[in-house]
Structure 1
Amino acid sequence: MDDRQRYDRATAALEPPFAILDLAAMRANAASMVRRAAGKPIRVATKSLRSRPLLERVLAIEGFRGLMAFTLPEALWLASRGRTDILVAYPTADRQALAALAADADAARHITITVDSADHLAYLDQALSGVHPRHEIRLCLDIDAGFVALGGRFRAGALRSPVRDADQAARLAADIAKRPGYRLAGLLAYEAQIAGVGDAPQSAAYGRVVRLMQTLSARELVMRRGRIVNAVRQVADLEFVNGGGTGSIERTVREKAVTEVAAGSGLFHPRLFDFYRGFTGHPAAMFALPVVRRPSPDTVTVLGGGYIASGPPGTGRAPQPYLPAGLRYSRDEGAGEVQTPLTGQAAEDLRVGDRVWFRHAKAGELCERFDTLHLVDGDTVVESVPTYRGEGRTFL
């Protein structure tokens, strides 16, 4: 029985649109990620899963430890549901959430928030000035891990922290140490240009350029990140140094300065992760849309479909028509808001009511469209779990 038959059989009682997670594929992806981490713990990126029961399943797998949240309200919610060791990987300016954190001893003990400037510290001081009693706030210093070359004329990597060198990091760490009510607990440096950029794109020439950039970037970063960590450790007793992502696990864990890696998307293995040479994943998360009409013999139309991923605009951010194989978007319409035409030889055999299975370009954004993930094992739905949306939570 092929995957399409399995999924159709498992979900025969469900009416599309709906989303599924193939548990066997996810378990294989998790095992691969743990092997690549070579003994260092993997902190689970919640934005890549966005389902609390699913996060609990993953944390029960040996090799995964701690959560990397994307907003402070999310972290507070997860902590209130019993989760511990939560790093909020992006700075927050949410005054109410900051006040709630500082006023809650349990939350303050289990949540670490990120800063990257004296401005952040001043904002925290002001936002927390009226909180009494106030518990100590755990902080993580975010470092720019981007690659810069040609005298600054070339840059690759996410535009995140302004802190780039050891002196800057040490000065900010010293500033934190002087302020009562804070403790610098960790350091974060995410190399998006390696972890989030596939080195085997469809263009061979572009792939060679990407691989050269990543080689040079990794070489530069291992030295710079090591110097930064050493400088900050002179000021603070760091509990963790976090780096990497799904696409760079085996590379990042080789750095002595890094104590853990962050990853999550690899568990779902969305479309963008097909373009890496270092590892091969198994598509695990997907969604089904029903065929609702046939405009011509080689074209079908499915309901919905315009679930475009974040990032630079382009066709690579659209979901992939996955099963049956051989379907493609109409050049003039693409993935539509309420309907999506699909063409190709495979369309000739589809009839009204049949399902077309799609893979999202990225991972967790899929869960912003669906309130439930149906967990498939073999040809059976063994459990249906809520996404964040299904629990009435939308954090961004």
Structure 2
Amino acid sequence: MVVDLDAFDANADDLVRRAGGTPIRVASKSVRVPALLRRVLERPGFHGILAYTLAEALWLEEQGVSDDVVVAYPTVDRGALARLVASPAAAGRITLMVDDVAHLDVVDSVRASHAVPVRVAIDVDAGLRMGGQHVGPKRSPLHDAADVVGLAEAIRRRHGFRLVGAMTYEGQVAGVQDAVPTQRAKSAVVRRIKALSLTQLEVRRREIRDALAATGAELEFWNAGGSGSVEATVADDVVTEVAAGSGLLAPTLFDHYRSFDPRPAAFYGLPVTRRPSPEVATVHGGGLIASGPSGKDRAPTPWAPAGLHLTGLEGAGEVQTPLTGHPAGLLAVGDLVWFRHAKSGEPFEHVSTVQLLSGPRFVEEVRSYRGHGLAF
């Protein structure tokens, strides 16, 4: 695995420009390399981490990577919760995400007292409701102001909890390409859905904010958006911070957005191990398929030398990946072929170390979460 620091830094600068002064909380799920998290957090415009598990958040806080970590998803990890409520320092720096009273019950099940208050934020559904259908990630059951206020009041009545934030992740805006050259009709529909989503969500965010304020709730932050929606998200004055992570490394699923044009920054190299025919070169391993709905867009892309293609019969395999295309005939056993992954962060689960490239030279080898012996 290689990360091009010049591209990484350029992408970070572009995210800051797009955010227009609104702080960016780094989505660690899309990075998963502590050295890179530290690097981006040192840049003006970035503050805090949006983690994906509580165990991860605890480790990041213990290691001093960040003193402001929001866990983006509800947790039922009782072991991690027990560690949280046993540490006043960690509990003061980590915020849990909730969308159900049941999440509060799990926290209470691991503690004998309420001496250590637990910071919580409410995850609000940010999907588009249209014609009786729901378009967007299936996350929170809370959609309207009444739903959110109901949970906020339940939190207020419970000892040992403090409501400090809210989240509205509009994944149907932030995480879907809208300018795919080979899918012009679909891209037009996606852009229409995005526009409708933003219009509806702006109204709903304001209603929820005002309803919470009427109950006396004082939120420290309102998190929203992602790499693909930075400008649109920060245009809403309810939002106090935007999340971003994939825009730093620019995987292939972020190649075709109208709003930004990031520089690919993460690659993995695979050696040619055999030549089954003059037209085919086979590399070792490579089948790092991205999560999400199965399809060709979830497969890795041969990137350099340019012009290589996966085969329809084998695709990207766990132990071997045959490649066709003109450059295949020019490759020798031992040559490296460079690939890009479809999603950001996920390929680092397969390696323990990452080579950092600056200009023409490798300047440092750093460890991924996996290299630290961690699997979150």
- TM category (shorter chain) comes to over 0.9
1:20-53 per-position Cα deviation (integer Å, ceiling 9, x unaligned)? 0000001110010000000000000011110111
Distance (whole Å) between structure 2 residues aligned to residue 267 and residue 93 of structure 1: 30
After TM superposition, list the pairs within 5 Å mapping 1:352-367 onto structure 2: 352-367=333-348
Question: Counterpart amino acid of 1:24?
Answer: D
Question: Counterpart amino acid of 1:87?
Answer: V
Kindly indicate whether the alpha-carbon contact (under 8 Å) linking 1:85 and 1:111 is maintained by their aligned counterparts in 2: yes
Question: Counterpart amino acid of 1:195?
Answer: A
Aligned residue in 2 for 1:140: 121
1:87 aligns with 2:70: yes
Please give the secondary structure, in 1, of the residue aligned with 2:109.
Answer: helix
* TM value normalised by structure 1: 0.93
1:209 aligns with 2:192: no
Kindly indicate whether the alpha-carbon contact (under 8 Å) linking 2:98 and 2:122 is maintained by their aligned counterparts in 1: yes
Kindly indicate whether the alpha-carbon contact (under 8 Å) linking 1:33 and 1:246 is maintained by their aligned counterparts in 2: yes
Aligned residue in 1 for 2:357: 376
Please give the secondary structure, in 1, of the residue aligned with 2:211.
Answer: helix
Kindly indicate whether the alpha-carbon contact (under 8 Å) linking 2:114 and 2:159 is maintained by their aligned counterparts in 1: no
* TM value normalised by structure 2: 0.98
Aligned residue in 1 for 2:278: 297
1:295-343 per-position Cα deviation (integer Å, ceiling 9, x unaligned)? 1111100000100010001111011100111111111000001000000
Gaps of 5+ in 1: 1-18
Distance (whole Å) between structure 1 residues aligned to residue 245 and residue 329 of structure 2: 37
Distance (whole Å) between structure 2 residues aligned to residue 96 and residue 307 of structure 1: 30
Identity rate of aligned residues, in percent?
52
Deviation at 1:133, TM superposition (A): 6.7
1:127 to 104, 110, 123: 110
Runs of 4+ residues over 3 Å off in structure 1: none
2:139 to 136, 139, 160: 160
Aligned residue in 2 for 1:307: 288
Give me the CA root mean square deviation: 1.0
Question: Counterpart amino acid of 1:374?
Answer: Q
Please give the secondary structure, in 2, of the residue aligned with 1:135.
Answer: coil
1:223 aligns with 2:206: no
Deviation at 1:59, TM superposition (A): 0.1
Aligned residue in 1 for 2:178: 199
Distance (whole Å) between structure 2 residues aligned to residue 231 and residue 36 of structure 1: 30
Question: Counterpart amino acid of 1:232?
Answer: L
1:338 to 319, 324, 329: 319
Distance (whole Å) between structure 1 residues aligned to residue 158 and residue 353 of structure 2: 44
Question: Counterpart amino acid of 2:185?
Answer: A
Aligned residue in 1 for 2:266: 285
Distance (whole Å) between structure 2 residues aligned to residue 321 and residue 233 of structure 1: 51
1:188 aligns with 2:167: yes
Kindly indicate whether the alpha-carbon contact (under 8 Å) linking 2:114 and 2:160 is maintained by their aligned counterparts in 1: no
Distance (whole Å) between structure 2 residues aligned to residue 259 and residue 26 of structure 1: 24
Choose 114-123 or 22-31, whichever is displaced more: 114-123
Deviation at 1:118, TM superposition (A): 1.7
Distance (whole Å) between structure 2 residues aligned to residue 78 and residue 278 of structure 1: 31
Distance (whole Å) between structure 2 residues aligned to residue 127 and residue 107 of structure 1: 16
Question: Counterpart amino acid of 1:305?
Answer: G
Distance (whole Å) between structure 2 residues aligned to residue 340 and residue 203 of structure 1: 27
Aligned residue in 1 for 2:233: 252
Kindly indicate whether the alpha-carbon contact (under 8 Å) linking 2:16 and 2:45 is maintained by their aligned counterparts in 1: yes
Question: Counterpart amino acid of 1:76?
Answer: L
Aligned residue in 2 for 1:232: 212
Question: Counterpart amino acid of 1:96?
Answer: G
Kindly indicate whether the alpha-carbon contact (under 8 Å) linking 1:102 and 1:135 is maintained by their aligned counterparts in 2: yes
1:324 to 305, 314, 320: 305
1:33 to 15, 27, 45: 15
Distance (whole Å) between structure 2 residues aligned to residue 253 and residue 95 of structure 1: 35
Aligned residue in 2 for 1:96: 79
1:69 aligns with 2:69: no
Question: Counterpart amino acid of 1:137?
Answer: V
Deviation at 1:245, TM superposition (A): 0.2
Deviation at 1:125, TM superposition (A): 2.2
Distance (whole Å) between structure 2 residues aligned to residue 326 and residue 134 of structure 1: 62
Kindly indicate whether the alpha-carbon contact (under 8 Å) linking 2:269 and 2:339 is maintained by their aligned counterparts in 1: yes
Distance (whole Å) between structure 2 residues aligned to residue 308 and residue 299 of structure 1: 22
Deviation at 1:96, TM superposition (A): 1.2
Distance (whole Å) between structure 2 residues aligned to residue 42 and residue 77 of structure 1: 21
